[in-house]
Amino acid sequence: MVSAACRQRSDLWDDGLADAERKIDAAVADSAAQPSRPVSTDDPNSMVARLKALGRRNDDEQAAAIRRGIDSAVESQAMQAEARGEQEQIDGPGPGIERIWGLPDLAAMALDANPSTRESWHRARAAAAREQKVLAAYGPQIGVEVGMSYSQEPFLSQTPEPLPDREALFSPQVYASWLLLDFGRRDADTDRSRAELAAANMSHDRTIQRTVFAVQKSYFRLEGALGLRTAAEQDVIAARSVLKATEARLALGLATRPDMLVARQAYAEALYQLEKRRSGVLLAEGDLRTSVGIPASVALPIDPTPETEVPEILTAGIDGIIDQALARRPDLAAAVLEVRAREAEMRRAQADYLPEVVARGTAGENWLNFDTPGFSIEGQGWGFAGSAYVGGRWLLFDDGARDAALAEATANRAAASAKLAKARLDAADEVWRAYYTLQSDRAQYDAAKAQLVASIDAFESVKKAYELGLTTLPELLDAERDLSLARAQRIESRSSLLSSSAALLFASGGGPGEVR
């Protein structure tokens, strides 16, 4: 009965593994079906292949497959367009499957497609329009006024029955008004609008940097997810080879059935991890497309960064990078300009305590129709009418409104100064954290490379010894797990190194190659 139960469980294992194998890629399934095939290092996305042949790009076979896929997609699109009767002029490859996107191309696309950059650009344009509005206050206001009036006044006639006096007036006029002296009100408004415009421009620059940084992070995260998926496929191949070696030893009577079940368990775990890695790739692809500013469903194949492209070793000290950040970061410059704008508001509030001098004049032809019974006074016709006025006004009492406005402007200026101080502290902290995170990630990356080489050699040696009966299955499984962990650490450490390098550039406010 025990033997029958074991056989039933074994059949369940076989069925479950067969179903899992059918769900994985054909390439992985084909490799898994050949237990004598060694772990492949020909895949251009393989971390092992990249480690052993630094600088090698995608091999000819994969490049040809990509070209065939692109040609097929373009040909299909052309056939559909021809069927619809459309004649399209193709100027170059567009988004989606029609091309493979590198990091510079994605960053350039994000600057056009990402809504954040458009928002900051239009805010800067609005600030420029406000400046023009304030500058217009220095000139006069010229316009046209048209009015009609009718009046009737009784008891002006000398007749026994008083008759009303009637008068109708139609007066089209041109008027001009000019504020001659306002004791600094317009100057303060101009200073504030110019500071706000410069701050909006600086904020737009920082938005551009933030958008590019978001694309970089998403791009490196997707690269890491693709590498982890490739590593998981290699883990499946390795686990399958261990299972086949165990089955071969069991057939020779050199292994037990529990050994084979443990090997099957390890193989099933490798399949499970592969599906998790595939899910991670899909999520990373969606994040990258969103950061670029396109829908998550749009195809956007990427060109992975060559293995040799890693950040250079930093030679600049932390103090120099912090000084660079405080001097060059656009958001800090925007905070300084915000303080200046609030200072201009204070001057504007102080100027409201002073008088204003205004000049005003009108000129036009008026039409008058009047009739006064009893006095024989009546008539109608056109006549010139004009006026000129120069005067001043001075608000002496407003129940504390100007005092409250000045207090508000003073508080806003103090708040802007505190915000600037906090921004400088936060910027220094961001640079500090990014600098030492980058240093740590580089050390981890170097250690992970050495660990992967050692793990590969250890796994191959233990596997060979296991096939010769010189070691046990637990030792082989331990070596396999160590190799899987080393592959993942190698990929994750490289992704972290690239991301932390981009984070240091973003924190310092510099561009590529400006922080070394």
How much of the chain exceeds pLDDT 70, in percent? 74
Which pLDDT value is given to residue 130? 92
Instruction: For residue 111, give every residue at least 6 positions away whose Cβ sits within 8 Å of its Cβ, in sequence order, or none.
Output: 117, 208, 211, 212
Highest mean pLDDT of the ranges 102-116, 145-159, 328-342, 371-385: 328-342
Going from the C-alpha of 415 to that of each of 107, 317, 409, the distances in angstroms are 35, 33, 10
Answer whether residue 78 shows pLDDT above 80: no
Which amino acid is it at 408? E
Same domain, 488 and 362: no
Beta bridge partners, 383, equal 366
Mean pLDDT of 124-153: 87
Residue 151 belongs to domain with CATH number: 2.20.200
Tell me: do 159 and 85 sit in the same domain: no
Residues 235 and 374 both lie in one domain: no
- Lowest-confidence region among 117-126, 306-315, 373-382: 373-382
What is the distance between the alpha carbons of residues 194 and 415, in angstroms, rounded to a whole number? 20
The answer on 388 and 271 residing in a single domain is no
The token pair at 492 is 């994750």
Q: Which pLDDT score, from 0 to 100, does residue 103 have?
A: 87
Q: Residue 191: is its pLDDT beyond 90?
A: yes
Q: Which residues pair with 359 in a beta bridge?
A: 178, 390
Please give the pLDDT value at position 262.
Answer: 87
**Predicted pLDDT at 258:** 85
Is 413 within the bounds of a domain? no
Position 307 scores a pLDDT of 67
Tokens found for residue 30: 């084909």
Residue 193 lies in a domain: no
Q: What angle do CA 49, 504, 122 make, to 5 degrees?
A: 110
Residue 398 lies in a domain: no
Question: Does residue 189 fall inside a structural domain?
Answer: no
Q: What are phi and psi of 392, to 5 degrees?
A: -135, 160
Q: Which residue has the higher pLDDT, 149 or 276?
A: 276
Residues 168 and 296 in one domain: no
| Spatial separation of the C-alpha atoms in residues 78 and 67, rounded to whole Å | 16
Residue 297 lies in a domain: yes
Examine the domain organization and report whether 59 and 155 are in the same domain: no
What's the pLDDT score for residue 73? 37
**320-351 pLDDT tens trace:** 899 989 999 999 999 999 999 999 999 999 99
Q: In angstroms, rounded to a whole number, what is the distance separating the alpha carbons of residues 32 and 484?
A: 16
Could you give the number of structural domains in the chain? 2
> What span, in angstroms and rounded, lies between the C-alpha atoms of 480 and 15?
24
Q: Which residue has the higher pLDDT, 477 or 40?
A: 477
| Burial (CB count within 10 angstroms: exposed 0-12, middle 13-18, buried 19+), residue 152 | exposed
Residue 18's pLDDT is 55
Provide CB contacts within 8 A for 465, sequence distance 6+. 471
**Per-residue pLDDT tens over the stretch 12-52:** 445 555 555 555 444 444 444 444 333 344 444 444 444 34
Burial state string for 3-35 with b = 16 or more CB within 10 A and e = fewer than 16: eeeeeeeeeebeeebeebbeebeeebeebbeeb
One-character DSSP codes across 106-140 = HHHHHHHH-HHHHHHHHHHHHHHHHHHHHHGGGS-
Residue 159: which domain range? 140-181+356-393
Ramachandran angles phi, psi of 373, nearest 5°: -60, 145
* pLDDT value at residue 426: 95
Whole-angstrom distance, CA of residue 21 vs CA of residue 33 = 10
Question: Are 48 and 152 in the same domain?
Answer: no
Task: Please say whether the beta carbons of 343 and 417 come within 8 A.
Answer: no
Same domain, 266 and 386: no
Question: Looking at the structure, do residues 108 and 156 belong to the same domain, yes or no?
Answer: no
Would 291 be classed as within a structural domain?
A: yes
CA proximity to 52, closest of 506, 405, 490, 504: 490
Compute the distance between CA of residue 360 and CA of residue 142 in angstroms, rounded to an integer.
10
Residues 6+ apart with CB under 8 A from 295: 289
* DSSP code of residue 19: H
User: Who wins on pLDDT, 486 or 155?
Assistant: 486
Whole-angstrom distance, CA of residue 323 vs CA of residue 325 = 5
Q: Which of 12-16, 105-109, 145-149, 275-279 has the lowest mean pLDDT?
A: 12-16
What pLDDT was estimated at residue 308?
63
Q: In terms of C-beta density within 10 A (0-12 exposed, 13-18 middle, 19 or more buried), how is residue 112 classed?
A: exposed
Q: Kindly report, residue by residue over 227-262, the tens digit of the pLDDT.
A: 999 999 989 998 898 889 888 888 888 888 888 888
pLDDT at position 415, please? 95
Query: What's the token pair of residue 196?
Result: 């706000």
pLDDT given at position 310: 77
Say what the pLDDT of residue 280 is: 92
Q: What is the C-alpha to C-alpha distance for residues 317 and 310, in angstroms, rounded to an integer?
A: 19
Q: Could you tell me which of 299, 13, 349 has the C-alpha nearest to residue 189? A: 349
- CATH of residue 205's domain is 1.20.1600.10
CA-CA distance, 291 to 354, in Å (whole number)? 52
Answer whether residue 384 is part of any domain: yes
Residue 435, pLDDT score: 93
| In a shared domain, residues 205 and 327 | yes
- Tell whether 330 and 451 lie within a shared domain: yes
Give the pLDDT mean for 69-98: 43
Please report whether residue 134 resides in a domain: no
The answer to whether the predicted template modeling score (pTM) of the entire model surpasses 0.75 is no
Are 292 and 115 in contact by the 8 Å Cβ rule? The answer is no
Q: Are residue 167 and residue 248 in the same domain, yes or no? A: no
Mean pLDDT for all residues in the chain: 79
pLDDT above 50 for 1: no
